[in-house]
Structure 1
Amino acid sequence: MSKLDGNERWKSKLLLTEHADQYEQQNGTPRNNLITSEERLMLRDYILLPHMETMVQKSLSEVEYSVNILKRSYLMAGQYIMEKVIQDQHRLRREMKQRNIRILHEEQSELVVYYRYYCRGYEERFGITRDVMRSEISLRLTRYIAELGVLLKERVRESAAPHK
């Protein structure tokens, strides 16, 4: 006789993942209601893009009132980046709506900002630190600027090429 024989807690059975899958298939409760890693990235971007829009808008306002001789080119570059941010926001909103994901509100706890979201009927929290937000925004802006640089180089090549 072991020490566990008299203990009632040990009479319950463990549920293996294969059994859980079978149960869900029989009862029609799919496991794919949980959020995927791709959807987590979408949530992150959904949170970051409004902050990026604010930052770019503030930068555009500062450039607009400057006396820099390259002011017009800076404004054009900033407006291009602003359009890309807004396009990404619209695309992301559409995609999240199709996947039935909604973000409700934010809560701040020291250095972490938490967002409550619903994903296909499940409510969860998504947390992101301010440092991660800063670095991700920096990376994203760098990508937009690099994209703009590629476009400018293509235009310069096109205008420098001899016309036939």
Structure 2
Amino acid sequence: MSKLNGNERWKTKMLMSEHVDQFEEKQEDTVRKMITVEERTMVRDLILLPYIDTMVSRSLKEIELSSSILKRAFVIAGQAIQRRIMQDTYQLQKELKQRNIRVLPDEQEEFLVYHKIFCRGYQERFGLTRDVMRTEISLRLTRYTAELGAAWKEYLK
């Protein structure tokens, strides 16, 4: 027989298994409502795509003003990349909407760009440094260019 037997104070301190289950369910619901790493990556891409589109648009304007003999080919390539950017933006917006996630611009500081993320009832502030943005934009543009190059190679076969 233990020392706790017969001690009425300990009866109120014990947790019933039902309460433990309810607590664990509540914790799991909270974790499910928070934004995942995959969703955070999608938000980052959604934020970066308009910047990429702006950069491609500026480059297209510069190319149109140039006197290069390959001007038409560059314009066609730029427009193809822009179409792909628009498709990706639409897909990300659709996917995030299905997951009940909204992204709104917040503020810009010297080296940081902030956005508010509303995710399934929770609000979070998401910041990107300009250096990270430059790197990610460069990687994304490289990927778009590689995809376009691969499509051209396949077409020319």
Unaligned runs of 5+ in 1: 1-18, 158-164
Q: Distance in 1 between matches of 2:20 and 2:52?
A: 42
Summarize the alignment of residues 7-156 of structure 1 with structure 2, pairs less than 5 Å apart.
22-25=22-25, 29-156=29-156
Q: CA RMSD in A?
A: 2.0
Q: CA deviation at 1:152?
A: 1.1
Q: CA deviation at 1:44?
A: 0.3
Q: CA deviation at 1:104?
A: 1.9
- Deviation per CA, 1:10-58, whole angstroms, max 9, x where unpaired? xxxxxxxxx9875142699442100000000011001000001111111
Unaligned runs of 5+ in 2: 1-18
Moved over 3 A (4+): 19-22, 26-30
- One-letter identity of the residue aligned with 1:137: I
Q: TM-score, normalised by structure 1?
A: 0.79
Q: CA deviation at 1:111?
A: 1.0
Q: TM-score, normalised by structure 2?
A: 0.82
- One-letter identity of the residue aligned with 1:154: E
User: What fraction of aligned residue pairs are identical, expressed as a percent?
Assistant: 55
Q: Distance in 1 between matches of 2:52 and 2:32?
A: 31
SS at match of 1:110: coil
- One-letter identity of the residue aligned with 1:143: R
Change (3 A) 1:101 1:110: same
Change (3 A) 1:21 1:94: farther
Q: Distance in 2 between matches of 1:155 and 1:82?
A: 20
- One-letter identity of the residue aligned with 2:80: Y
Q: Distance in 2 between matches of 1:154 and 1:36?
A: 36
